[in-house]
Amino acid sequence: MHEFYAAIEDYDAYAESSRQPVFWEPIKRELEERAARGKRSRVLEFGAGRTGFAEYLGPLREHVEFHVQDITDRNRDDLARKADKLVFEPLERVEGAYDIIFSTFVWEHLSRPRASLFALLRLLAPGGSLYLASPRYDLPGYVPPSARHLPRARQLALSSWLSARRLRVALGGAPEFLLHAAPACLSVPWFRDADAIHWVSRFDLRVLEPEYRIEDIHVPVSGFKQWVWARFALLFVRIRRR
C-alpha cells in the first residue's frame, strides 16, 4: 500500500485541499472551550493529505500548535505552509503528547488499525480526545468498496461471511479489525475507497472498554437516505480515557 500511495497520480488527497467542516466543527468547539480557559492546544492530524483544517480554524489558529502526520511526503510543500510540524513516519514512531488527535476518512485506509489505535491513544495528553471519522462496513449485506471488483457471486458470498463475522463480534466476540489483503486498487483502475483495506466496524472499538469512553457524534443530516447513511454507514466518535 505504501508503494501504491507513492505512485498513484490521480488520488483525491493529492489533487485538492480537504474540506470537512461537518467533522471539524466538534473539534473546533473543543478547541474554543480550551482557549476560553486560557489553554493553548497541541493538535495532531494523522493521514493529513492536503488538509484545510488550519484555515478552517480562522483566528483560533493562534491558540493551536498544529502537527500533521502522513506516510508519504508528496504534500510536503502544501503542509509546510499550514502546520507547525510535519511527521512523515508511521504512527508508532510519532512522539509527543497531544490534547486532540483526529482524522477524517483515513481510519479505513490503515494497514495496522489495532496497533495504530493504541499508538494514537498513547499520544493523548491527560484529558485529551481522539476523533475518528470514517465509513463503517458492518451493515448486513454491505459489500466494502475494495471488494467490488470481484464477480457478483463472490461479492454475495463475501457479504454473507462478513455479516456472520460482524454478528459474532456484536454478540460479545473478540474485535477483529478485518483487513482486505487484495483490494481493488491493486488490480483495477482506482475509484473512491478502492484502497479502503480496513473494513471498519463500530463493534471493534469495544477493544477499548472499559478503560476508554467512546462517544458517538451525530452529524446534521436532511432526509431519510442521509439519516440511514449517518446512522449505519458512518463512524464518527470521540474517544477519551475514563
Residue 119 lies in a domain: yes
Average pLDDT over all residues of the chain: 94
| Number of independent structural domains in the chain | 1
- Give the N- to C-terminal CA distance of the chain in Å, as an integer: 35
Instruction: Kindly tell me if the per-residue pLDDT of 14 is higher than 90.
Output: no
pLDDT tens-digit map of 105-163: 999 999 999 999 999 999 999 999 999 999 999 999 999 999 999 999 999 999 999 99
Residue 157 lies in a domain: no
Residue 40 lies in a domain: yes
The Cα 26–Cα 193 span in angstroms is 25
Tell me how far CA of residue 209 lies from CA of 103, 138, 144, 166, 241, in angstroms. 21, 19, 26, 18, 10
The Cα 102–Cα 110 span in angstroms is 14
Residue 100 lies in a domain: yes
Predicted pLDDT at 74: 87
Predicted pLDDT at 203: 96
CB of 209 within 8 A of CB of 106? no
By percentage, how much of the chain surpasses pLDDT 90?
89
| Cell numbers found for residue 70 | 502522513
Average pLDDT over residues 27-33: 98
Residue 55 lies in a domain: yes
Phi, psi of 130 (to 5 degrees): -115, 120
CB of 103 within 8 A of CB of 23? no
Average pLDDT over residues 17-26: 94
Write the CATH number for 59: 3.40.50.150
Residue 234 lies in a domain: yes
The Cα 200–Cα 108 span in angstroms is 6
Residue type, 49: G
pLDDT tens-digit map of 43-94: 999 999 999 999 999 999 999 999 999 988 889 999 999 999 999 999 989 9
The residue range of the domain holding 39 is: 2-136+199-241
151 class by beta-carbon count within 10 Å (0-12 exposed, 13-18 middle, 19+ buried)? exposed
pLDDT tens-digit map of 206-219: 999 999 999 999 99
Instruction: Kindly tell me if the per-residue pLDDT of 205 is higher than 80.
Output: yes
Residue 103 lies in a domain: yes
Residue 16's pLDDT band, with cuts at 50, 70 and 90, is: confident
Residue 5's pLDDT band, with cuts at 50, 70 and 90, is: confident
Residue 154 lies in a domain: no
**More confident: 3 or 104:** 104
| Cell numbers found for residue 64 | 493551536
| Cell numbers found for residue 242 | 475514563
**pTM: predicted TM-score of the whole model, two decimal places:** 0.95
CB of 236 within 8 A of CB of 133? yes
Predicted pLDDT at 101: 98
